[in-house]
Structure 1
Amino acid sequence: MAGLGRMPLLLLLLLLLLLPPRALGGTGEACEDHRECLSNCCVTNSVNPQKFCTPKTIFQKCLPWRRPRGHACKSHTQCQSSCCTRNSHSPEWFCTPKTIFLQCVPWRKPDGDFCERHDDCHSRCCIRLSEVSPYRCIPRTGLLAQCLPL
């Protein structure tokens, strides 16, 4: 009787041995894990979360698809440019290009907008125009382009 409990397990093992091995996916085939691909590289290749087999880089790395300029993002790592910033008053963040000096420059408020610190402003000048007024972005003035009240 004890041997009957092992019978389903033995049948399952026999069935697994008789099944042909699963073929590995080539470039462009859908996958869920690196082991399913000939290249051993299974990554997303668009905003769609579906993963596909892709070739490795010349450095044998698996690089996931990254969003081009203009796509919504939440971190620098999601963008091709490695630069995710705001580009307007909107709270949303977008993939933006880096400068020629490879810097990721955040969007800054134009003159006249309310601000809390100098870095909020395009002019890098955030001051109160009077003791009771709120802080605002103002253009730099004077011969040495200083942050002075108008």
Structure 2
Amino acid sequence: MKALIAYLSYSGNTKETAEMVADYLSADGAVTDMHRIGIDPPVDASAYDLIFIGTFTWEMGATPDEVKEFVLEVGYKPANVAVFGTGDTQFGGDELYCLAVDKLVTFYQSRWDGLKIEQSPRGSQEFMVKNWLEGVLHDVKSLT
């Protein structure tokens, strides 16, 4: 399986989560390509069996412009998109927490719930990342 992990990170939390996703996928035998949204050149999304999009939530629940531009660069809605993101309940409370994740899951009509990480994926949240990925990979393997 070949997986793309496209992410946008300002504070480093989303990057750290993306790296955990890559490490787990690699350990499972997947070939992974990391793509820094807004920095790396455009990619051909059709070359991947699975696409992960990682984002943070901006301002009042907004998806960052760079992530929106990445969506436009892809040019179509792949059916194989899983979304993860980092957020902070301190700013905006529960109703805005990782809202960009929810918006992308809805936009792509992803078959997987989005993974939401409070700030950094370290500690007990590492288990959340692993558990979420196991669910995604189980579904992907059962479809093939």
Larger radius of gyration: 1
* Interval containing the TM-score (normalised by the shorter chain): under 0.3
Greater RCO, 1 or 2 (C-alpha within 8 Å, sep 6+): 2
More strand by share: 2
TM-score normalised by L of structure 2: 0.19
